[in-house]
Chains A and B, each alone.
Chain A
Amino acid sequence: MIRVASVMAWLRWRLLLNHLRPTRRRDALERASRAFEVIGPVILLVLFLPGLLLAAFGGGAAGYFLPRAAGHQRQILMIVRTILSIELFMTLLAPMLRAAQGSMPNLERFLLLPIPRRYLYISDALGALGNPWLALLSAGVLLLPVGMGMAGLPLEGCVALAAGLGILLFLSGAETCFLSLASLLFRDRRRAEVASFVLVAVMASLSFLPALFSTLQRDGRRAAGVTIEQSAEETKPVASQSSSGGRLAPLSLWGLAYPPELYARSILRCADGLPAAALVPLTVLLLWGGLTHAAGLKLYERLLETPEVSSPRRRGSGLSVAWPRVPLLSDAASAIAVAEVRLVFRSVQGKIQFFILPMVMLVMSVLWTRRPESALFPAGVPLPAGLMLATLGVFFAMMTLEGTLLNQFAMDRAGLTLAFLSPISDRDLILGKAAAGAFLVASRALPAMLVAALMVPGGSVFLWLALPFMALALYAWMAPLGAILSAIFPRPVNAGKIVKQNQPHAMASILGMIGNLVAVVPAMGLAGVALFLLQSPALVLLFVMLYAGLALLLSTLLLRVAARVLARRRENLALVAQGR
């Protein structure tokens, strides 16, 4: 068993190190850009080590001082609860995210090796402790008993150590359990894509909950006629009561069902010098650990028994393919544009970006309509809120397109080779991509503007009409810039997954963002002059239209430059598209 565990640990280590190694057959610029990308993980790795030492020191110090903090048990309990709840959340979320990112362990490979399945499971469970959040926690909970021992409570330290091992047992069990569950869920491509979409949608919705709840709470208070001052007064006695500390309430039923609470209770009982009283929560905690591992092993075995299962393929419409012809473009450029739009809408990222933006706009509109006095926009801006929201929507639309716009060649992967092997000139390829990008921006910006206009109407019609032209002007600048950056900084991605690595190259992102800002400043400036100095919304529309026209004109020239850059970078792009 020890041999298997050490081999697996070595494998993880080598995979981590080899990930940082560059591959051959790249030109100097590509090697430099790859080095730039590796810096981030290296810095994180370097920062992790002091973090580990800090967690260990924090654990030891907590163990030493806990017995002296008898009057503050509630606060301590709250801190421990919070830390462990975050740990638990990470433990449950991380496998789902890993699965959604496609970085699940290659079980088929391990199945071919002469390793008993139970050993494979144990090595996976031990490996879970190597995850950064669990490694940091392990350092803390294992050093806490040492602190207690140094404070003169050796028996209590032993019980706290058992509790620490119990919570680690539970968390590693929960992690392997969820990892297997996630693997089962995500191993089918279509199911994985749906699950990824749902996961992102749920996470996005969760991020809005605090704002929505605060709105509802405020509405409730307002309806009940309670002022802010009254509400502050009401909270005072609670605060003073909690600061008085006192005895812990008896362990409730929910506490028994919540392992982090059981751990917190165990160590607090130990700190009180009552190790016998810690035995009940400790025993239930260890039971939880055993249960999660039993379930984890069962799921793991199921996963190993059926490593290659997928749902039946969906039959499509067959030969009749609707393939519209894009006006003003050549056959080849039109084919590229249509293919690009289809590919983006069929990718998980494309679907997420298309649906999330109107959702964000809807939530922001709701927030605005319920709390117009909130600091959603800076005070004193004399513009209708709906218009401000719609402007924000245009920027968001540009930002969501970043993944496509700033990595438009490498994102096609092997499809790019097909394009390179086809009789398509560099200019047609660039024009086709630019046309597709225009459609994609419109498909995101227009619904966002529509939501804002419907939810928070008001303001001059000229200003509303100026917005689409502003979007056009922005995109006219970004299309050639995006093509140039995509050609210089390609990054092989898998748009079917929601991995961080699916983002464009960091350099492309930074330069793209700067480009976005540079493009928007003149438009904003012109609109500002027309609106605030000349006091004419109609002039805003005129100025923005003129700016959009100029941007389009320059864009056509810059697209030629982009075609030349593409011609020079073709070979490297072909290598990147092949994953070299």
Chain B
Amino acid sequence: MEAAIETKGLRRTFGELVAVDGVDLAVPRGTLYGFLGPNGAGKSTTIKCLTGLLRPSAGAMRILGIDPEMDPVAVKRKVGVVPEDLALFDRLTGAETLTFVGKVHGLDRATLQARSRELLELMDLQAASGILVADYSHGMRKKIALAAALLPAPHLLFLDEPFEGIDAVASRQIKDLLLAFVRRGGTVFLTSHILEIVEKLCDHVGVIAKGRLVAQGSLDSLRAETRRSLEEIFLDLVGAGEESAPAMEWLSG
């Protein structure tokens, strides 16, 4: 079966800084793929390349079998994204944001209304649907961004830190939603700093460190190979396993 995301030698540089260095991703369809890495490892840059916000310096990509460099609009029709900055117009209301996305995707009025209602209910945003996004809290913004990404019924979801800044109830709802999405054949590619969430939620992981993909595969196989927790595997892979925090004896409490 064709992979949902496939990259070969993906590389992105900013001047002399190599942010992503020859990454070969293979994300099978119907999986919940956790993309892990320490701060500045290249996670967001990789997502930006995959979603068309950044042009790779080198390498090839295929998203759902389409080359995004050749036909970016076709890829975007099948993909939903919640990026780092959430990508929302401050001066549209929540309902207008969903309407804008629906109209761009060419949804008819009835479908748009029905889906918007369901998504707003799920995200507990019905009461706030007429409020400008500028007045939303961070958690509300995250939820409306996720609702906007889900509205066109994408085949593949890119989520950059989806659980950051949202409450436990919403977090649980989103997890259930993502699992249901994957059960129905969708693919989720998410980054997260919270290893526990990735361990419980994802079935596949990729670990990036200093721009290089240092591990990739199903979580079960990784665990079976090493007989260790994801945290231990992660720390080992990114080269932080052996390091201990400096003593800093002046921190006497």
Interface residues of A (CB under 8 A from B): 24-25, 189, 313-321, 323, 331-332, 334-336, 338-339, 342-343, 346-347, 412-415, 417-418, 420-425, 495-496, 570-571, 574, 578-579
Partner pick for B93 among A316, A414, A423, A578, CB 8 A cutoff: A316
Partner pick for A318 among B86, B87, B130, CB 8 A cutoff: B130
Q: How many angstroms from the CA of A342 to the CA of B104 in the assembled complex?
A: 16
Q: How many angstroms from the CA of A316 to the CA of B131 in the assembled complex?
A: 5
Q: B113, A319: Cβ atoms under 8 Å?
A: yes
Please give me the residue from chain B that is nearest to A417 by CB atom: B87
> Which of B190-237 touch A at CB < 8 Å?
none
User: How close is A369's CB to chain B, nearest CB, in angstroms?
Assistant: 39
In the complex, 18 of the A-B residue pairs with CB atoms within 8 angstroms, ordered by the A residue number, are A25-B14, A317-B95, A319-B116, A319-B120, A321-B99, A323-B96, A323-B99, A323-B103, A339-B89, A346-B91, A418-B89, A420-B52, A421-B51, A421-B83, A496-B91, A496-B134, A570-B55, A578-B85
User: How close is B88's CB to chain A, nearest CB, in angstroms?
Assistant: 6
The 10 closest A-B pairs by CB, nearest first: A316-B130, A415-B89, A417-B87, A335-B103, A423-B76, A418-B87, A346-B91, A423-B77, A321-B99, A331-B106
Q: Name 9 extra pairs, CB < 8 A, besides A346-B132, A420-B52, A421-B53.
A: A189-B134, A317-B130, A321-B99, A331-B106, A415-B90, A418-B87, A418-B88, A423-B73, A571-B53
Q: Which one of A421, A424, A570 has the highest number of Cβ atoms from chain B below 10 Å of its Cβ? A: A421
Q: B76, A422: Cβ atoms under 8 Å?
A: yes
Q: B90, A331: Cβ atoms under 8 Å?
A: no
Q: How many angstroms from the CA of A342 to the CA of B100 in the assembled complex?
A: 11
User: How close is A28's CB to chain B, nearest CB, in angstroms?
Assistant: 10
Please give me the residue from chain A that is nearest to B78 by CB atom: A423
Q: How many angstroms from the CA of A316 to the CA of B98 in the assembled complex?
A: 15
Q: A343, B92: Cβ atoms under 8 Å?
A: yes
Q: CB-CB < 8 A to A336: which residues of B?
A: 104
Judge if B126 is at the interface, Cβ distance under 8 Å: yes
Partner pick for A342 among B77, B91, B117, CB 8 A cutoff: B91
> Which of B120-156 touch A at CB < 8 Å?
120, 126-132, 134-135, 148
Q: A316-B129, A321-B95, A423-B73 are in contact. Are A331 and B85 (CB under 8 A)?
A: no
Partner pick for A335 among B17, B55, B77, B100, CB 8 A cutoff: B100
Please give me the residue from chain A that is nearest to B107 by CB atom: A331
Q: A424, B104: Cβ atoms under 8 Å?
A: yes
Q: B54, A331: Cβ atoms under 8 Å?
A: no
Q: How many angstroms from the CA of A346 to the CA of B89 in the assembled complex?
A: 11
Q: CB-CB < 8 A to A339: which residues of B?
A: 89, 92, 96, 100
Please give me the residue from chain B that is nearest to A188 by CB atom: B135
Q: B54, A574: Cβ atoms under 8 Å?
A: yes
Q: CB-CB < 8 A to A343: which residues of B?
A: 89, 91-92
Q: How many angstroms from the CA of A570 to the CA of B73 in the assembled complex?
A: 14
Judge if B101 is at the interface, Cβ distance under 8 Å: yes
Partner pick for B83 among A315, A347, A417, A424, CB 8 A cutoff: A417
Q: A313, B53: Cβ atoms under 8 Å?
A: no
Please give me the residue from chain A that is nearest to B99 by CB atom: A321
Q: B87, A331: Cβ atoms under 8 Å?
A: no
Judge if B246 is at the interface, Cβ distance under 8 Å: no
Q: B88, A415: Cβ atoms under 8 Å?
A: yes
Q: CB-CB < 8 A to B83: which residues of A?
A: 417, 421
User: How close is A290's CB to chain B, nearest CB, in angstroms?
Assistant: 41
Q: B104, A335: Cβ atoms under 8 Å?
A: yes
Q: CB-CB < 8 A to A317: which residues of B?
A: 95, 130
Q: CB-CB < 8 A to B93: which residues of A?
A: 316, 321
Judge if B81 is at the interface, Cβ distance under 8 Å: yes
User: How close is B109's CB to chain A, nearest CB, in angstroms?
Assistant: 9
Q: How many angstroms from the CA of A334 to the CA of B93 in the assembled complex?
A: 18
Q: How many angstroms from the CA of A320 to the CA of B101 in the assembled complex?
A: 15
Q: Quick one: CB contact mask for B1-42 with A, threshold 8 Å, 1 for yes?
A: 000000000000011010000000000000000000000000
Q: CB-CB < 8 A to B53: which residues of A?
A: 417, 420-421, 571, 574
Q: A319-B129, A335-B103 are in contact. Are A342 and B113 (CB under 8 A)?
A: no
Partner pick for B73 among A319, A425, A571, CB 8 A cutoff: A425
Q: A315, B88: Cβ atoms under 8 Å?
A: no
Judge if B172 is at the interface, Cβ distance under 8 Å: no
Q: B90, A414: Cβ atoms under 8 Å?
A: yes
Judge if B105 is at the interface, Cβ distance under 8 Å: yes
User: How close is A433's CB to chain B, nearest CB, in angstroms?
Assistant: 14
Q: Which one of A331, A417, A425, A570 has the highest number of Cβ atoms from chain B below 10 Å of its Cβ? A: A417
Please give me the residue from chain B that is nearest to A495 by CB atom: B91
Q: CB-CB < 8 A to A189: which residues of B?
A: 134-135
Q: CB-CB < 8 A to A319: which residues of B?
A: 95, 113, 116-117, 120, 126, 129
Q: B90, A316: Cβ atoms under 8 Å?
A: no
Q: CB-CB < 8 A to A420: which residues of B?
A: 52-53
Q: CB-CB < 8 A to A496: which residues of B?
A: 90-91, 134
Q: A318, B126: Cβ atoms under 8 Å?
A: yes
Q: A318-B130, A319-B120, A343-B92 are in contact. Are A414 and B85 (CB under 8 A)?
A: yes
Q: How many angstroms from the CA of A330 to the CA of B69 in the assembled complex?
A: 22
Q: CB-CB < 8 A to B92: which residues of A?
A: 339, 342-343, 415
Q: How many angstroms from the CA of A314 to the CA of B94 in the assembled complex?
A: 13
Please give me the residue from chain A that is nearest to B79 by CB atom: A421
Q: How many angstroms from the CA of A422 to the CA of B149 in the assembled complex?
A: 9
Q: CB-CB < 8 A to B89: which residues of A?
A: 339, 343, 412, 414-415, 418
Q: B87, A414: Cβ atoms under 8 Å?
A: yes
Q: CB-CB < 8 A to A335: which residues of B?
A: 100, 103-104
Q: How many angstroms from the CA of A412 to the CA of B83 in the assembled complex?
A: 16
Please give me the residue from chain A that is nearest to B148 by CB atom: A418
Q: CB-CB < 8 A to A579: which residues of B?
A: 85
Q: CB-CB < 8 A to B134: which residues of A?
A: 189, 496
Q: How many angstroms from the CA of A489 to the CA of B16 in the assembled complex?
A: 24
Q: B103, A571: Cβ atoms under 8 Å?
A: no
Please give me the residue from chain B that is nearest to A420 by CB atom: B53
Q: How many angstroms from the CA of A423 to the CA of B76 in the assembled complex?
A: 5
Q: B77, A315: Cβ atoms under 8 Å?
A: no
Q: Which one of A319, A346, A425 has the highest number of Cβ atoms from chain B below 10 Å of its Cβ? A: A319
Q: How many angstroms from the CA of A173 to the CA of B117 in the assembled complex?
A: 53
Q: A189-B135, A331-B104, A422-B104 are in contact. Are A413 and B52 (CB under 8 A)?
A: no
User: How close is A189's CB to chain B, nearest CB, in angstroms?
Assistant: 6
User: How close is A155's CB to chain B, nearest CB, in angstroms?
Assistant: 56
Q: CB-CB < 8 A to A578: which residues of B?
A: 84-85
User: How close is B199's CB to chain A, nearest CB, in angstroms?
Assistant: 28
Q: How many angstroms from the CA of A417 to the CA of B86 in the assembled complex?
A: 8
Q: How many angstroms from the CA of A412 to the CA of B89 in the assembled complex?
A: 7
Q: CB-CB < 8 A to A346: which residues of B?
A: 91, 132
Q: How many angstroms from the CA of A570 to the CA of B51 in the assembled complex?
A: 13
User: How close is B112's CB to chain A, nearest CB, in angstroms?
Assistant: 9
Q: B90, A318: Cβ atoms under 8 Å?
A: no
Q: CB-CB < 8 A to A571: which residues of B?
A: 53-55
Q: A342-B91, A423-B77 are in contact. Are A313 and B96 (CB under 8 A)?
A: no
Q: How many angstroms from the CA of A574 to the CA of B54 in the assembled complex?
A: 8
Please give me the residue from chain A that is nearest to B45 by CB atom: A25
User: How close is A379's CB to chain B, nearest CB, in angstroms?
Assistant: 46
Q: A313, B135: Cβ atoms under 8 Å?
A: yes
Q: How many angstroms from the CA of A232 to the CA of B39 in the assembled complex?
A: 77
Q: A421, B130: Cβ atoms under 8 Å?
A: no
Q: CB-CB < 8 A to B14: which residues of A?
A: 24-25
Q: How many angstroms from the CA of A414 to the CA of B92 in the assembled complex?
A: 12
Q: CB-CB < 8 A to A334: which residues of B?
A: 103
Q: How many angstroms from the CA of A318 to the CA of B104 in the assembled complex?
A: 20
Q: A421, B87: Cβ atoms under 8 Å?
A: yes
Q: A421, B95: Cβ atoms under 8 Å?
A: no
